[in-house]
Amino acid sequence: MTPRLPPVNLARACLGPAAHRPADGLGLVVTHDLDDPSAGEERWTWGELADAVRAVAAGLLGSGIRPGERLVLRLGDTSDFALAFFGAVAAGVVPVPTSDQLTAEEVAFVAADCGAVALAVAPGLEVSTGLPVVGPEDLGRWRAGGARADWASTAADDPAFLVYTSGTTGRPKGVLHAHRSVLGRRPMYDGWLGIGPGDVVLHAGSFTWTYTLGVGLTDPWAVGATAVVHSGRRDPAAWPRLVEHCAATVFAAVPGVYRQLLARCAGDPLGAPDGPLRSLRHAVTAGEALTPALLEEWRSRTGLELFEALGMSEVSTFVSSGPSTPVRPGSPGRAQPGRRIAVLPVDGGEEPLPVGEAGLLAVRRSDPGLMLGYWQRPDEDESAWRGDWFVSGDLVHVDADGYVHHHGRADDVMTSMGYRVSPHEVEAVLARHPSVGEVAVTEVAVRDGVRIITAFVVPAADEHPDEQVLLAFAAEHLARYKCPRAVRVVGRLPRTPNGKVVRRSLAGGPEPLS
């Protein structure tokens, strides 16, 4: 069981009065223009952030939304998204953040599945659900008004927010986190991020991504560091300019961003004493595996360390390298201080495997960062636990020094742009197209460190599937990061004697269409 913890409100822990968050100190910078970062830049002090969040909390409660009820956020990549998220948490309402890449169909599913009572929606992102809608004009009116809510008196185990993640079934599942999750993130501050008061953290992700809400906002605010997020178009070559503009001390992104940055900035003096990255102490990465080749190129081009972390929606990151844990190429690192992990047998059992033996990575139930559970998925809840262990779908082994070595996913879940994507969800969409008889989806390596989601399609009778038509069809129904990047037409799909598709064999080349 999780140890009994004192009452805590996640929003108050990040924005409430504290010596390391002076009211006139700079808490948030939002840039909009890559060519001129100062143009239209938003700069929020700690006092302004706390006031705006409490105003939104009062507005939500005044509109009739009750603590514990769910509010779906569809506010795009704006500061309103962050204010609505923390405002809901401050009120005891449960925000359900969604990516602006999701289609209306996907958002409608989330709203129905979680039993949302309202949606916070930005212009251009409307979705028809029949539910009441809160818009940016409401947020602005609440902030201009005089009502301010007190921070809700929430217990550590009270629901704080709900995120949806792809799993082994065809539909995303909700992961319900408690207010204690903010306490569960503390091992990351020294064990991975290496941040404290006075730091400036620039995150390359969007507000709508839980990686950014966590590492880009929650963590810096909790320790009194300034958070910087860019809301406009994303050009990999511009990140060094943004680092220089805001004097960032820590930069966070997925490996793909570092790869693109280095490619676009070839020949630039990134590591020079007067170069654009001179303010950085180090950088951090998560969301997909960091290849040794990319790590080495980053080090040689910048002279900076790149600390990797391994995590999941259910517990955030819990394995990492960091200022006190030396990087070991090919490994995301060791369990963060205070974390208890184990490698359990794939076929069942609670007894951890010995050093060097591969199995499923597991986290001790007592970790305060662990979710409360899957939203109304009792079967998945039951299968995720083995006694005192939460079992992930990651195949790993741990070496004698405690470093984790990743061997992929045991459940076929893919990673795209740092997001987890279920092949079943993508297959269910493509199977609806009349030219598709059978379909299987998996990741295919196109070059070192780069894998793309690829759909293998067996044509329906007398049909001739067209790659561009199928890619466009997928884009109509799926978020961009879930969409396949390629379609291969094949004669059959590799299957086991029991008829199950063997996705790992697809990339090796199933029988081509003759």
In the chain, domain spans: 46-154, 422-506
Q: How confident is the model at residue 468 (pLDDT cuts 50, 70, 90)?
A: very high
Q: What is the CATH number of domain 46-154?
A: 3.40.50.980
Neighbours of 47 (CB within 10 A): 16
Q: How confident is the model at residue 389 (pLDDT cuts 50, 70, 90)?
A: very high
The percent of residues above 70 in pLDDT, for the chain, comes to: 96
Neighbours of 466 (CB within 10 A): 13
pLDDT value at position 109? Answer: 94
Q: How confident is the model at residue 511 (pLDDT cuts 50, 70, 90)?
A: very low
- Please state the rounded mean pLDDT for residues 471-485: 95
With 60 as the cut, is the pLDDT of residue 236 above it?
yes
Query: What is the pLDDT of the chain when averaged over all its residues?
Result: 92
- Please state the rounded mean pLDDT for residues 328-339: 96
Neighbours of 230 (CB within 10 A): 25
pLDDT value at position 209? Answer: 85
- Please state the rounded mean pLDDT for residues 352-372: 95
CATH class of domain segment(s) 422-506: alpha beta
Q: CA-CA distance, 80 to 58, in Å (whole number)?
A: 15
With 70 as the cut, is the pLDDT of residue 510 above it?
no
pLDDT value at position 287? Answer: 86
pLDDT value at position 267? Answer: 86
* Buried/exposed 397-433: b ≥16 CB within 10 Å, e otherwise: bbeeeebbebeebbbbbbbbbbbbbbbbbbbbbbeeb
With 60 as the cut, is the pLDDT of residue 2 above it?
no
Q: C-alpha 276: how far from its chain's center?
A: 27
- Please state the rounded mean pLDDT for residues 127-136: 92
Q: How confident is the model at residue 512 (pLDDT cuts 50, 70, 90)?
A: very low
pLDDT value at position 513? Answer: 43
Q: Which two tokens stand for residue 494?
A: 């590799």
- Please state the rounded mean pLDDT for residues 71-77: 94
- Please state the rounded mean pLDDT for residues 184-191: 96
Instruction: Give the range with max mean pLDDT: 40-54, 97-111, 200-214, 422-436.
Output: 40-54
Neighbours of 291 (CB within 10 A): 16
- Please state the rounded mean pLDDT for residues 156-175: 86
Q: Which positions ≥6 away from 423 have C-beta within 8 Å?
A: 412, 413, 414, 440, 441, 442, 503
Instruction: Give the range with max mean pLDDT: 162-171, 244-253, 263-272.
Output: 244-253
- Please state the rounded mean pLDDT for residues 402-426: 83
pLDDT value at position 1? Answer: 52
Q: CA-CA distance, 471 to 409, in Å (whole number)?
A: 25
* Buried/exposed 293-331: b ≥16 CB within 10 Å, e otherwise: ebbebbeebbebbbbbbbbbbbbbbbbbbbeebebbeeb
Sign of CA dihedral 332, 333, 338, 342: positive
pLDDT value at position 449? Answer: 78
The percent of residues above 90 in pLDDT, for the chain, comes to: 76
- Please state the rounded mean pLDDT for residues 273-281: 96
With 70 as the cut, is the pLDDT of residue 498 above it?
no
